[in-house]
Chain A
Amino acid sequence: MYLLWDSWCGVCFQKLANIDLQHTICTFLLYIYIFYITIMTSTIDDSDKEKALSVSVDLNNDTSLLIDIPDALCERDKVKFTVHTKTTLSSFQKPDFSVPRQHEDFIWLHDALVETEDYAGLIIPPAPPKPDFESPREKMHKLGEGEATMTKEEYTKMKQELEAEYLAVFKKTVQVHEVFLQRLSSHPVLSKDRNFQIFLEYDQDLSVRRKNAKETFGSFFKNMVKSADEVIISGIKEVDDFFEQEKTFLLDYSSKIKDSTARAEKMTRSHKNIADDYIHISSTLSSVSVDDNTALKKHFEKLSDLFEKLRKVEGRVASDQELKLTELLRYYMRDIQAAKDLLYRRARTLADYENSNKALGKARLKSKDVAAAEEQQQQCLQRFNKLSESGKRELTSFKGRRVVAFRKNLIEMAELEIKHAKNNMSLLQDCIELFKSS
């Protein structure tokens, strides 16, 4: 940890040297939080292990390959994760090692997996979303501007709240990256992937090249083609009922879950707003109590205390809903997209097979290249069958995984809601009794 502090300071002062003053101060402040957060995550992560696993509970209990991210460091918009691996597999040189990885490396790994032909029949775990610290940062900025309109106490509380939010975002980011790796490690096929092993083992900076403009455009174009292709392929008659059903289900489900996610986000934000209102009310009440000299003085004080406590509980309600509900929905939104991609790839091979059938028909008509066409057709069929088979397996396991995850999270959320409500209740009861007795 000391080492980390040293390197962190080094980074900071380097930055300090060449960035203009105002920015520097801002970033410096941010660094301080970040360092704090780093420490926090490293300590919290152990206790939160279970929580972190909540999204991907299907992980097998195989201890041959255990991955976690004990540390992370945020530098501006770059996040450096320390990926720690513990293994008994002989394919690794050491049983225990850590490597520094950036978000881009994760993306590279994901893309590499997606592009591997052999994995076409698998649901590739969705890539972790890009860390987004913009919104808390922006809020922090706004808070700094609005400092004059608030009392000092209020400002401090708001800042604390924002720091907590920042911390939550950071924790979440670390968690989704971890989950991505854990899902790979628990997958019987993907855990054997060469790229994955390189990702885990190579102790230097992977320094994957960022996509340049052309490539970015290329991938965008590819996406366009893909969606156009999807439309074309959708016309092809499905041969397997299972996949037909899955397809309609996933299409429907993905749109629904998208909607739910957006709404859950809104709901969580409203909870947060209420918690913020409580801060303001509490601090105004306390200043009222300062001015008041009547018997009400202590009532106002009590009320101010109460609102401060209620705000903490309300904040917990918000963050727990975010973690247990919104995050779950968000993750499965991406997972379903991955499942849909699998379906697309299968449909693509089906289309290929149909095309090769047609080609074979034509070749037979012309009695030209029949053997080549036959071989082609056989290959396509084989590929399609293989894909269907593994796809079926994957989708079934996906379904089971989803149900288990939902169950776990819903139970936990209900329990937390009850816990918070009980907390609130006892706070309120105490306060009411105090009021009535005086």
Chain B
Amino acid sequence: MATSSERSPPPFPEDLEPEPDEVGDQDSDDGEDIFLGTDNPLEIKMDPSLSASDITSSTKPLSEASSPPVMDLLSEPASEASSAPMVDLLMEPASEGSSAPMVDLLMEPASEASSAPMMNLLMEPASEASSAPMMNLLMEPASDDLKEPPKPDIDPLADIINDTPLSEGKTPVAAMPQEPPSDLFDDEPSELFAEPRQSNTAKQQQTSIFDEPDEDLFSEPLGEASKKPQNDFFKEALAPVAKASNVCGPLSDNYNEQPTDIFTEEAITTLPSAVSTVSVNSKTNGVHSDEEEPDIFAEATVELSLDSPRNDRKKKEAAKPSASASAPAPSVSASASKPQPKTLEEVQYITLEEEVEDKFELNISITNPEKVGDGMNAYMAYKVSTQTTLPMFRSKTFTVRRRFSDFLGLYEKLSDKHTLNGYIVPPPPEKSIMGMTKVKVGKEDNSSAEFVERRRAALERYLQRVVFHPSLLQDPDVREFLERDDMPRAHNTQALSGAGFLKMINRATDSLSKMTIKMNESDVWFEEKLQEVEAEDQQLRKLHIMVDSLVGHRKELSVNTGGFAKSVAMLGSSEDNTALSRALSQLAEVEDKMEQLHQEQAASDSFCFAELLADYIRLLGSVRASFDQRMKTWQRWQDAQNMLQKKRETEAKLLWANKPDKLQQAKDDITEWEAKVTQYERDFDRVSATVRKEVLRFEKEKARDFKKQIIKYLESLLQSQQQLIKYWEAFLPEAKAIA
């Protein structure tokens, strides 16, 4: 496999570069010819240029494909590379014919597989009648019955667009071929190809996807992998593929009204098969394949759910069939994704220990909180020390001084950049005007010292969470924060400033718009998780209040014990029986120590338990923000789709009204919005994937964190009980000595 992994990526650009050209040309030239007639030469010129721009945009990343692979799963190179085999796969009526390239494809996802279908593509338009090149693109019937299908093709589509004459019916059709191919070409195959390619070539990428820099884990199984399971997997993989092609069979013979629907179904059948092969291809042990699967499933399901709304829109009247077509999709996704997270978690749980050890390559501590300045302008500066073995830093140990607003500034920067992509950015501790004012006024009492200490610990945990996050660690701002000596003063972090006020307003409008967005959730996973997160948030808040009250009562107990100790000491002093007097003063001493003990326990209640809860209440806020972000991108996508629909309607009207001068403008608009829709859809997919990944990561971290902190807390309780026993045991002989 190692050889194939070396061999497979390079052929991509070479083999495929001519292909998009052809596809694009066919698409634009022939399509326009047929449907729009030749009366508008301008358009013919325009469209090639457009497609050309498409090609350039797609070839650019393509060239990158051979160099360090790009993070984006849905990136163009993959789609381009796979478009040809995919077409082959989906349209070839002969079952053998389709399974063969599929196997090829899986074994060597590069040169042969992609070149063969490409040949098909090149051959067919040339040999067959140019009257139906569109059909080529849509389904590529096996080049024999080409002349018949085009007519029925137009008919049902014309039916779909109600009451429109045939001439008009052509325009939607013209839109159609552009769309489904783009859909199929760009997205679905990308999974097929992008995944195996990544796993074969790019270990680095693997880490960025699964945030586990387990190079050992990955490479070891590579060597150990045996041939046998691979074959088994292939057999299994073949079956669905054959099925898929069977589905294709009737498609070409008996041309169906719902081409897209069938495509989606195929996507269902082919993708899982791809999954199993992917796991074989990557030649890892169970751990890795387990990790990979959910991701593919996730994308597969996203894909499906994306297709169905499109169907909805295309066939307004045929809403029901499309709904039924989309209905199985979530169920498939549910069944596919549901069991996965669990096994995934377990696997991650097992690998936890190793991971923790790995993470020690970056150690951050915050020490020496120092008051700088006087009066209301005073602030606390903290020493941020970093110890690291990571090569990305200039030295192994370095220290900087940062003030609280710098931390806030870092968060602002990070959240501006990463929240948009659905990342969960750990939030810093809140501003506390009360606490800070106390410190500023300079009272050196207990509560202000406690405040500073608590904030220091909170900041430390915050920063550790940031650097613990593999994507955030890569951020230049984080590096700057840790390394740079003179940090520019962070702005707009004051609690009572104009910017703060603006932020408040923004937040208010955000929450308002959140309420207005009604997302028909297509993914059960997200729905369930969001509910879980919300319920957890509430429970943790309640728990936090309870623990706070425990802290309060413990402090009260400490004070009362102290009072009793003094009082007993007085009682002892006035007791006239010497032995009893001694015992009483001993009791006073014991109670004095108890006071100390209770106080310490209250502190650890607060530091270990209450703070942990407070942290997670804040973090859950960030988790919800990432869910909101996903919803927002969805909304944007939906808006764009609506817009596109409107543009199409205007175009149809213009055509009907026969206003060619405005038609061009409308067409441009459509292309523009189509691009936007695809872009937004892709964004949504990306954000969804990121959110899912992030939430899983968050849960893992949470489990680890809670376990660690709670053990720490219980140990503190244990210690105080041990002390208590010690004190009382020391007292016991004194009590017995009373004569």
Residue pair B554, A274 in contact (C-beta under 8 Å): yes
The one of A287, A293, A414, A422 that contacts B732, using a Cβ cutoff of 8 Å: A414
Q: Given the complex, which residues of A lie within 8 Å of B580, measured CB to CB?
A: 402-403, 406-407
The answer, yes or no, to whether A32 is at the interface (CB within 8 Å) is no
Interface 9-mer from A91-99, A169-177, A362-370, A428-436: A428-436
Closest Cβ–Cβ distance, residue B485 to chain A (whole Å): 41
The one of B540, B579, B587, B728 that contacts A418, using a Cβ cutoff of 8 Å: B728
Residue pair A277, B542 in contact (C-beta under 8 Å): no
The answer, yes or no, to whether A256 is at the interface (CB within 8 Å) is yes
A 248-268 binary contact with B (CB < 8 Å = 1; else 0): 010011001101100110110
The one of B535, B547, B574, B722 that contacts A291, using a Cβ cutoff of 8 Å: B535
- Residue of B with least CB distance to A264: B564
- Residue of B with least CB distance to A285: B543
Residue pair B543, A421 in contact (C-beta under 8 Å): no
Q: A-B contact count, CB below 8 Å?
A: 161
The answer, yes or no, to whether B711 is at the interface (CB within 8 Å) is yes
The answer, yes or no, to whether B50 is at the interface (CB within 8 Å) is no
The answer, yes or no, to whether B536 is at the interface (CB within 8 Å) is yes
Closest Cβ–Cβ distance, residue A339 to chain B (whole Å): 13
- Residue of A with least CB distance to B602: A274
The one of A281, A410, A415, A424 that contacts B547, using a Cβ cutoff of 8 Å: A281
The answer, yes or no, to whether B70 is at the interface (CB within 8 Å) is no
Residue pair A259, B567 in contact (C-beta under 8 Å): yes
Residue pair B703, A260 in contact (C-beta under 8 Å): no
Interface 9-mer from A126-134, A295-303, A342-350, A378-386: A295-303
A411 to B739 alpha-carbon distance, docked (Å): 12
The answer, yes or no, to whether B475 is at the interface (CB within 8 Å) is no
Residue pair A435, B714 in contact (C-beta under 8 Å): yes
The answer, yes or no, to whether A43 is at the interface (CB within 8 Å) is no
Residue pair A435, B711 in contact (C-beta under 8 Å): yes
Q: Given the complex, which residues of B lie within 8 Å of A429, measured CB to CB?
A: 718
Residue pair B563, A295 in contact (C-beta under 8 Å): no
The one of B532, B576, B587 that contacts A399, using a Cβ cutoff of 8 Å: B576
A348 to B97 alpha-carbon distance, docked (Å): 124
Closest Cβ–Cβ distance, residue A310 to chain B (whole Å): 8
Residue pair A263, B560 in contact (C-beta under 8 Å): yes
Given A293-B532, A294-B702, also A432-B715 (CB < 8 A): yes
The one of A280, A291, A414, A415 that contacts B539, using a Cβ cutoff of 8 Å: A291
A288 to B707 alpha-carbon distance, docked (Å): 15
- Residue of A with least CB distance to B544: A284
The one of B345, B564, B728 that contacts A421, using a Cβ cutoff of 8 Å: B728
Closest Cβ–Cβ distance, residue A66 to chain B (whole Å): 28
Q: Given the complex, which residues of A lie within 8 Å of B577, measured CB to CB?
A: 399, 402-403
A421 to B727 alpha-carbon distance, docked (Å): 11
B 181-197 binary contact with A (CB < 8 Å = 1; else 0): 00000000000000000
A280 to B551 alpha-carbon distance, docked (Å): 13
The one of A274, A306, A418, A421 that contacts B553, using a Cβ cutoff of 8 Å: A274
Q: Given the complex, which residues of B lie within 8 Å of A431, measured CB to CB?
A: 714
Given A273-B553, A403-B738, A414-B731, also A257-B564 (CB < 8 A): no
Residue pair A414, B722 in contact (C-beta under 8 Å): no
The answer, yes or no, to whether B389 is at the interface (CB within 8 Å) is no
A171 to B557 alpha-carbon distance, docked (Å): 25
Closest Cβ–Cβ distance, residue A54 to chain B (whole Å): 14
Residue pair A432, B714 in contact (C-beta under 8 Å): yes
The answer, yes or no, to whether B546 is at the interface (CB within 8 Å) is yes
A271 to B601 alpha-carbon distance, docked (Å): 13
The answer, yes or no, to whether B729 is at the interface (CB within 8 Å) is yes
B 710-739 binary contact with A (CB < 8 Å = 1; else 0): 110011011001101100110110011011
Q: Given the complex, which residues of B lie within 8 Å of A296, measured CB to CB?
A: 702-703, 706-707
Given A293-B532, A303-B710, also A425-B729 (CB < 8 A): no
Residue pair A270, B711 in contact (C-beta under 8 Å): no
Interface residue ranges of A221-256 to B (CB < 8 Å):
245, 249, 252-253, 256
Residue pair B718, A270 in contact (C-beta under 8 Å): no
- Residue of B with least CB distance to A266: B560
A264 to B535 alpha-carbon distance, docked (Å): 41
Residue pair A284, B553 in contact (C-beta under 8 Å): no
Interface residue ranges of A184-221 to B (CB < 8 Å):
none
The one of A256, A288, A422, A435 that contacts B574, using a Cβ cutoff of 8 Å: A256
Most buried by A among B346, B549, B575: B575
Q: Given the complex, which residues of B lie within 8 Å of A399, measured CB to CB?
A: 576-577
What interface size band does chain A fall in?
35 or more
The answer, yes or no, to whether B349 is at the interface (CB within 8 Å) is yes
- Residue of B with least CB distance to A271: B557
The one of B540, B725, B735 that contacts A422, using a Cβ cutoff of 8 Å: B725
The one of B539, B557, B718 that contacts A288, using a Cβ cutoff of 8 Å: B539
Residue pair B543, A435 in contact (C-beta under 8 Å): no
A424 to B717 alpha-carbon distance, docked (Å): 9
A44 to B556 alpha-carbon distance, docked (Å): 33
Residue pair A410, B735 in contact (C-beta under 8 Å): yes
Closest Cβ–Cβ distance, residue A398 to chain B (whole Å): 11
A221 to B46 alpha-carbon distance, docked (Å): 114
- Residue of A with least CB distance to B730: A414
Q: Given the complex, which residues of B lie within 8 Å of A264, measured CB to CB?
A: 564
The answer, yes or no, to whether B561 is at the interface (CB within 8 Å) is yes
Q: Given the complex, which residues of A lie within 8 Å of B113, measured CB to CB?
A: none
Q: Given the complex, which residues of A lie within 8 Å of B84, measured CB to CB?
A: none
The answer, yes or no, to whether A75 is at the interface (CB within 8 Å) is no
Closest Cβ–Cβ distance, residue B683 to chain A (whole Å): 29
- Residue of A with least CB distance to B731: A414
Residue pair A407, B738 in contact (C-beta under 8 Å): yes
Q: Given the complex, which residues of A lie within 8 Å of B718, measured CB to CB?
A: 425, 428-429, 432
Residue pair A267, B735 in contact (C-beta under 8 Å): no
A287 to B539 alpha-carbon distance, docked (Å): 7
The one of A273, A292, A410 that contacts B583, using a Cβ cutoff of 8 Å: A410
Q: Given the complex, which residues of A lie within 8 Å of B739, measured CB to CB?
A: 403
A361 to B6 alpha-carbon distance, docked (Å): 131
Q: Given the complex, which residues of B lie within 8 Å of A424, measured CB to CB?
A: 717, 721
Q: Given the complex, which residues of B lie within 8 Å of A435, measured CB to CB?
A: 707, 710-711, 714
Closest Cβ–Cβ distance, residue B619 to chain A (whole Å): 14
Residue pair B553, A277 in contact (C-beta under 8 Å): yes
Residue pair B532, A421 in contact (C-beta under 8 Å): no
A151 to B345 alpha-carbon distance, docked (Å): 31
Closest Cβ–Cβ distance, residue A131 to chain B (whole Å): 26
Closest Cβ–Cβ distance, residue B70 to chain A (whole Å): 32
The answer, yes or no, to whether B550 is at the interface (CB within 8 Å) is yes
The answer, yes or no, to whether A278 is at the interface (CB within 8 Å) is yes
Closest Cβ–Cβ distance, residue A324 to chain B (whole Å): 11
Q: Given the complex, which residues of A lie within 8 Å of B576, measured CB to CB?
A: 245, 249, 399
Residue pair B571, A411 in contact (C-beta under 8 Å): no
A299 to B557 alpha-carbon distance, docked (Å): 28
The answer, yes or no, to whether A105 is at the interface (CB within 8 Å) is no
The answer, yes or no, to whether B139 is at the interface (CB within 8 Å) is no
Closest Cβ–Cβ distance, residue A199 to chain B (whole Å): 34
Residue pair A284, B711 in contact (C-beta under 8 Å): no
The one of A245, A285, A288, A428 that contacts B717, using a Cβ cutoff of 8 Å: A428
Residue pair A273, B556 in contact (C-beta under 8 Å): yes
Residue pair A260, B568 in contact (C-beta under 8 Å): yes
Residue pair A253, B536 in contact (C-beta under 8 Å): no
A293 to B346 alpha-carbon distance, docked (Å): 12
A435 to B718 alpha-carbon distance, docked (Å): 14
The answer, yes or no, to whether B570 is at the interface (CB within 8 Å) is yes
A287 to B349 alpha-carbon distance, docked (Å): 23
Closest 6 CB pairs of A and B: A270-B557, A407-B738, A410-B735, A277-B550, A263-B564, A273-B553
| Given A414-B731, A421-B728, A422-B721: 13 more A-B contacts, CB < 8 Å | A253-B575, A256-B567, A270-B560, A284-B546, A285-B543, A296-B702, A306-B714, A415-B732, A418-B728, A418-B729, A418-B732, A424-B721, A435-B710
List 28 A–B pairs whose Cβ atoms lie within 8 Å, in order of A's numbering: A256-B570, A259-B571, A260-B571, A263-B567, A266-B560, A266-B563, A267-B557, A270-B560, A281-B547, A281-B550, A284-B542, A291-B539, A294-B345, A296-B702, A296-B707, A399-B576, A402-B580, A403-B577, A403-B739, A410-B587, A410-B738, A411-B736, A414-B735, A418-B729, A421-B721, A428-B717, A432-B718, A436-B711
